[in-house]
Amino acid sequence: MSDKKFIISTTEHIPGKEYEVIGEVFGLTTQSKNVVRNIGASLKNIVGGEIKDYTKMLDEAREVSVQRLQANAEKMGADAVVMMRFDSGSIGADMQSVAAYGTAVKYTN
């Protein structure tokens, strides 16, 4: 990664920057729940409440997907990513997939 600050923004415009669009960029990860998390989740289903291990797993998955998004954008020669969004979904009963996606851009000024 470069020394300059790489910006990942959920907005379309970066104040003070003009840029050209390079293209779409993604960062993907799939996480699997382990046996301990599954047992804890089963117990929480009975009594209710937040399943903190799953929340932690999803938080980590979001972070990994953003890191991969940035790495893929830098490989494309991008200086930033705009309009970044997340998508997630289950794959079967034991896996969760998280995608970070956006538009890779190169500064013109």
Task: Look up residue 63 and give its two tokens.
Answer: 């972070």
pLDDT of amino acid 53: 78
> Can you tell me the distance from the alpha carbon of 53 to that of 36, in angstroms, rounded to the nearest whole number?
9
> Can you tell me the distance from the alpha carbon of 12 to that of 84, in angstroms, rounded to the nearest whole number?
9
Domains (ranges, CATH) in the chain? 7-107 (3.30.110.70)
Burial zone of 22 (CB within 10 Å; 0-12 exposed, 13-18 middle, 19+ buried)? middle
The answer to whether the predicted template modeling score (pTM) of the entire model surpasses 0.85 is no
3-state secondary structure of 76: coil
pLDDT of amino acid 41: 55
Q: What are the tens digits of pLDDT across the range 37-92?
A: 555 555 555 666 777 777 888 899 999 999 999 999 999 999 999 999 999 998 87
pLDDT of amino acid 47: 63
